[in-house]
C-alpha cells in the first residue's frame, strides 16, 4: 500500500480498504440525508477511485469516483465525497477531490462530472475553485425533492504525456 506523505494538517490519502468501510459509512450517514447503503461502498473496494483521508489512524473523509467509456472521450464521475465534520476546513475535501481528478485523468477521462445539491453552497464553492462549471440544473434530483446542479470539468489538458503511471505508484 502506498500513501501520500503526511501534510501539515497530519492526514494521508490512500486507496480505501475493506477495513475502512464502517468508518466511511458512518461519515456518509452523518453527512447526507439520503446516504448510500453500506453495500454501495463495498463494490468500490480496491478501485483506484475509492480513496480515504486518514488522520491519526482514523478515516476523516473519502471520495468515490470512476470512469465510463464514452466514444473516445471517456467521462469521469465523482460519485460521492464527504469529510467528517470535525475535519472540515483543513483542505481534506480539496485534496481528496484533486486525487480523484488525478486518478480519473490517468484512467483516461477527458471530462469529469459530479452532482451537488443546489443548496450546498460550500461544496459548490470548492468545485468552482477547482475549475468545475455548472452545466445544468436537474429539478427534484434527490429523493427529498431538492434539485441538483450537474457540474463539469474538462480535464483533457491535464493528461500526462507518455508513460503509464498510476496514482498509487
CATH number where 95 lies: 3.40.630.30
24 inside domain: yes
Q: What is the pTM of this model?
A: 0.86
Q: Which domain holds residue 43?
A: 11-158
165 inside domain: no
Is residue 51 classed exposed, middle or buried when 0-12, 13-18 and 19+ CB atoms within 10 A define those classes? Answer: buried
E strand map for the chain:
11-15, 50-55, 58-68, 75-83, 111-117, 133-138, 148-154
Q: Hey, what's the cell of 42?
A: 463495498
Q: What is the pLDDT of residues 88-112, one digit of tens each?
A: 999 999 999 999 999 999 999 999 9
Domain count, the chain: 1
Q: What is the pLDDT of residues 68-84, one digit of tens each?
A: 988 878 999 999 999 99
Backbone angles phi, psi at 95, to 5 degrees: -65, -40
Going by C-alpha positions, the residue among 97, 13, 86 that lies closest to residue 52 is 13
Amino acid at each position: 500500500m502506498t500513501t501520500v506523505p503526511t501534510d501539515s494538517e497530519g492526514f494521508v490519502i490512500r486507496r480505501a480498504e475493506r477495513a475502512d468501510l464502517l468508518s466511511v459509512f458512518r461519515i456518509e450517514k452523518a453527512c447526507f440525508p439520503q446516504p448510500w447503503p453500506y453495500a454501495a461502498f463495498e463494490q468500490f473496494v480496491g478501485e483506484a477511485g475509492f480513496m480515504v483521508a486518514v488522520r491519526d489512524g482514523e478515516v476523516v473523509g473519502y471520495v468515490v469516483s470512476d470512469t465510463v467509456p464514452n466514444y473516445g472521450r471517456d467521462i469521469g464521475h465523482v460519485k460521492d465525497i464527504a469529510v467528517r465534520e470535525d475535519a472540515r476546513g483543513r483542505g481534506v475535501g480539496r485534496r481528496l477531490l484533486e486525487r480523484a481528478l488525478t486518478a480519473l485523468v490517468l484512467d483516461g477521462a477527458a471530462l469529469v462530472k459530479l452532482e451537488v445539491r443546489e443548496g450546498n453552497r460550500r461544496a459548490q464553492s470548492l468545485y468552482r475553485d477547482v475549475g468545475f462549471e455548472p452545466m445544468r440544473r436537474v429539478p427534484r434530483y434527490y429523493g427529498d425533492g431538492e434539485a441538483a446542479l450537474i457540474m463539469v470539468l474538462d480535464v483533457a489538458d491535464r493528461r500526462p504525456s507518455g508513460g503509464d503511471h498510476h496514482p498509487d505508484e
